[in-house]
Amino acid sequence: MTDTQLDALAIAAHRDDVEITSGGLLIKLKDLGHITGVLDLTKGEMGTRGNASDREKEASAAAEVMGLAIRENLGLPDANVQFTRENVLKVVRVLRKHRPRVVILPYWEQRHPDHYHCFRIAKEACYFSGLKKLDCEGTPFRPFKILYSTYYRDVQPTFVVDVSDQFERKLEAVKCYNSQFDSTDVARQIFVPGIDIFEFLRTRDRAYGMQIRKQYAEPYVQQEIMEVSDPVLMPVASI
């Protein structure tokens, strides 16, 4: 693990989760000059198709597409991510090492247990990382902003991010996971059963994009109230 300080860090349970949910945002942040990274909690060894070695190569290829500065993996057991003090401290070490201003997490209501356990582990790690007396190596640090991707849930987002210029690269990053998402009928059963994932991504991002009069957008939630400094400059017309 390098000492690279990050502007934004996305944390997810499995390799390919971030590409699907926040790939556009990560690419956009890179385009804006920010330093970005991903922390995957597991190696994805329990996936229906492929194996940990395949998915490691695919994750590295996707990281190149997204322009990540770092991509780390905690090696927690896939399909058995548990909320424990030990796992929280593992994430604390990463936060203290890379000191991201923004952390992107999965939304707290999830179908896959690994995903909602990931949320709880990472959310608590963001808090405990700032405690000076915590028995954990590293200089105390707490991220400034936590964002939650609502991609897998039908939740009203707090805001959406225009990813029109990044969308095709987002698809390219997801396509790196050929072991999961090739053109076979079997692959159609991995994501939403019977649905081509690339058609799903295009349709969903297009739907959010239309709401802000852009081509494509990704939805996010923040738990705190959003401040607006100058309402005169607020984007998206009301009528």
Give the Cα-Cα-Cα angle 87, 222, 25 (nearest 5 degrees). Answer: 85
Element (H or E) spanning 74, and its range? strand 70-76
Considering the chain, what percentage of its residues have pLDDT values greater than 70?
A: 95
Considering the chain, what percentage of its residues have pLDDT values greater than 90?
A: 85
Contact 170, 29 (CB under 8 A): no
User: For 83-119, how does the pLDDT look when each residue is reduced to its tens digit (9 = 90+)?
Assistant: 999 999 999 999 999 999 999 999 999 889 999 999 9
Pair type for strands 145-149 and 102-106 = parallel
| Top-confidence residue, 75 or 110 | 75
Please state, in angstroms and rounded to a whole number, the distance separating the CA atoms of residues 195 and 39: 27
- Quick one: tokens of 223? 């738990």
Please state, in angstroms and rounded to a whole number, the distance separating the CA atoms of residues 234 and 21: 25
Please state, in angstroms and rounded to a whole number, the distance separating the CA atoms of residues 76 and 137: 20
Please state, in angstroms and rounded to a whole number, the distance separating the CA atoms of residues 113 and 111: 6
Residue 228: the pLDDT is 95
| pLDDT tier, 50 (very low <50, low <70, confident <90, very high otherwise) | confident
Residue 1: the pLDDT is 45
Residue 55: the pLDDT is 95
| pLDDT tier, 193 (very low <50, low <70, confident <90, very high otherwise) | low
Pair type for strands 217-221 and 159-162 = antiparallel
What is the overall mean pLDDT for the chain? 94
The domains located in the chain, with CATH, are: 8-227 (3.40.50.10320)
Q: Phi, psi (5° rounding) for residue 43?
A: -95, -5
pTM, rounded to two decimals? 0.95
State the average pLDDT over residues 77-84: 97
Contact 138, 96 (CB under 8 A): yes
Amino acid letter, residue 117: H
